[in-house]
Amino acid sequence: MAKILIIDEDHSVCKTLSTYFTERGYEVHTSATGTDGLNRYVETSPDVVILDIRPPDIDGFTILEDLREDEENVKVIMVAADHDMDTTINAMKAGAFDYIRKPINVDELHSVVRKALQAGEMEKKINDLLTKPPFHFKAGDIIGSSREMSEIFKTIGVVSQSKTTVLIQGESGTGKELIAKVIHRNTSPHEPYVAVNCSAIVETLLESELFGHEKGSFTGAFSRKLGKFELARHGTVFLDEISEMSLNLQAKLLRVLQEMEFERVGGKDRVKVSARIVAATNKDLKSLVEEGKFRDDLFYRLNVVTINIPPLRERREDIPPLVDYITAKINRDLNKQILRISDDVVEIFLKYHWPGNVRELENLLVSAIVTAKGQILIREDFPDFLDSMQKKSNEENDDATTESGRLLKLDEVEEKYIRKVIKASSTKTKGEICEILGISRPTFERKLEKYGITFERE
């Protein structure tokens, strides 16, 4: 039988709550003062404390502090008539499990009590983890035991023996730069690693950023500036979002890759390139070449060794270790002590599509851990995510049936989905539609022909 301690000087509140929770099978103890409440806590060891924020003798925050000194994970639900923002924020900062406003909605309070008890039970089940770090974390690790990731590890080992150009392809959030950093760490760890986001710098500045410039070469060039290729020395230059580079700059980069030297903007001296070049993109460069948006000669220069990172949905067996690793990272970065994620939440993660890949998983865990009330992440810590999952599930069920309720065959579902994407993307080109569908241009053309779908946009 779960035990509840109520500390509130209002006799009617104590009586109402005592009756309510006793009728529902709880053992209830009440105190009218903070001093008596602290004594009753020691005597009864309650599972949950319902604490009025302003007892007559001791400030509620002082009581909360004393309770947490005795038991750090004590589940205290603070109750107050104050509706101001600061009081609520301070209660949660001080370690309250939740904050309920008066007049009390007993059903709402009961729901919070159940959540507190659930969190407490899960913490007790893994109490042995309290004395040791729950997860292993080492900065820069790539997590994955799937066959696809094992092949990537092998490729990294091979390319680390030389300074050949590497092209990394993968959806947004798959960890392309992490792969680049691991290659660098295993090749020239004591040399600089220099990253350039080709989509974040305007074309007029990108050339100077890459190759540097001489004094007076353009307005504002008050002194010589070394570019990324020079700054990298014998290390690594990481060109992120290479697909966003203009055709003009692509030609200049091609010349650098062919000759392994360049000239600063406004300069005449030839500068040798000693760094390894690693390029990355979240687009299919081969399709962009077919569409005339990327130089074929540069593509073949970059495509010496290609690492294709699979999306998270294609390596679901890596999700549990990724969850553990990311949780350990967040614990370290935010000074948190999350012990684990409940098994039912991990099961939900395994069924999710993860369009944002590992980055989406990390952002989701950060959000949950920051707001978590216990040391175990449970379903209630992911309300928006679970609502989104339910909505998506309902939509998928609609897509998989006809109006009469008949389940569709796989080809029928595919045709229905392709038509839906085309209709919803009325302003997009074939290449952009292919990117949404996650298929190549030739595959898209075959499916249009197979299902008799007319597509006139280019």
Residue 48 reports pLDDT greater than 70: yes
pLDDT at 386 (0 to 100): 82
Which tens digit of pLDDT belongs to each residue from 63-107? 999 998 888 788 999 998 876 777 888 888 888 899 998 889 999
pLDDT at 367 (0 to 100): 93
Best CATH choice for the domain 147-308 from the list 3.30.70.1730, 3.40.50.300, 1.10.600.10, 3.40.50.1980: 3.40.50.300
Give long-range contacts, CB 8 A cutoff, 24+ apart: 183-186: 183/156, 183/159, 183/236, 183/276, 183/278, 184/235, 184/236, 184/238, 184/276, 184/278, 185/140, 186/156, 186/157, 186/160
Amino acid at 184: H
For domain 3-125, the question of CATH label 3.40.50.2300 is answered with: yes
For the chain, the 3-state helix, strand and coil shares in percent, each to the nearest 5, are 50, 15, 35
Residues 6+ apart with CB under 8 A from 24: 110
Record the pTM.
Answer: 0.64
In percent, the amount of the chain with pLDDT more than 70 equals 91
For 226, the 3-state DSSP assignment is strand
Which tens digit of pLDDT belongs to each residue from 323-382? 999 998 999 889 888 888 888 899 999 988 898 999 999 999 999 999 887 788 888 889
Topology at the third CATH level for domain 314-379: Helicase, Ruva Protein; domain 3 (1.10.8)
The residue among 375, 381, 340 whose CA lies nearest residue 71 is 375
Mean pLDDT value across residues 192-218: 84
pLDDT at 373 (0 to 100): 79
More confident residue, 133 or 243: 243
Residue 219: which pLDDT band, with cuts at 50, 70 and 90?
Answer: confident
Tell me how far apart the alpha carbons of residues 143 and 444 are, in angstroms, rounded to a whole number: 33
pLDDT at 131 (0 to 100): 46
> From the centroid of its chain, how far is CA 42?
42
Tell me how far apart the alpha carbons of residues 102 and 50 are, in angstroms, rounded to a whole number: 12
Which tens digit of pLDDT belongs to each residue from 348-361? 999 888 989 999 99
More confident residue, 279 or 224: 279
pLDDT at 139 (0 to 100): 65
Q: Tell me what the pLDDT averaged over the chain comes to.
A: 86
Tell me how far apart the alpha carbons of residues 368 and 385 are, in angstroms, rounded to a whole number: 10
Mean pLDDT value across residues 29-58: 92
For 409, the 3-state DSSP assignment is coil
Contact criterion met (CB below 8 Å) for 73 and 374: yes
Tell me how far apart the alpha carbons of residues 232 and 265 are, in angstroms, rounded to a whole number: 18
pLDDT at 26 (0 to 100): 94
pLDDT at 129 (0 to 100): 47
Residue 390 reports pLDDT greater than 70: no
Mean pLDDT value across residues 189-205: 88
Least confident of 121-125, 297-301, 416-420: 121-125
Amino acid at 370: V
Residue 425 reports pLDDT greater than 80: no
Tell me how far apart the alpha carbons of residues 446 and 294 are, in angstroms, rounded to a whole number: 23
More confident residue, 289 or 447: 289
Which tens digit of pLDDT belongs to each residue from 112-125? 999 899 888 877 76
More confident residue, 190 or 204: 190
Residue 317 reports pLDDT greater than 80: yes
Mean pLDDT value across residues 50-73: 89
pLDDT at 4 (0 to 100): 95
For 123, the 3-state DSSP assignment is helix
Residue 433: which pLDDT band, with cuts at 50, 70 and 90?
Answer: confident
Residues 6+ apart with CB under 8 A from 224: 212, 213, 214, 215, 264
Classify residue 152 as exposed, middle or buried by CB count within 10 Å of its CB (0-12, 13-18, 19+).
buried
Tell me how far apart the alpha carbons of residues 363 and 98 are, in angstroms, rounded to a whole number: 23
Residues 6+ apart with CB under 8 A from 379: 342, 344, 345, 348, 386
Classify residue 94 as exposed, middle or buried by CB count within 10 Å of its CB (0-12, 13-18, 19+).
middle
Residue 137 reports pLDDT greater than 70: no
Contact criterion met (CB below 8 Å) for 247 and 207: no
Residue 266 reports pLDDT greater than 70: yes
Which CA distances in Å does 64 have to 86, 96, 234, 316? 17, 7, 57, 42
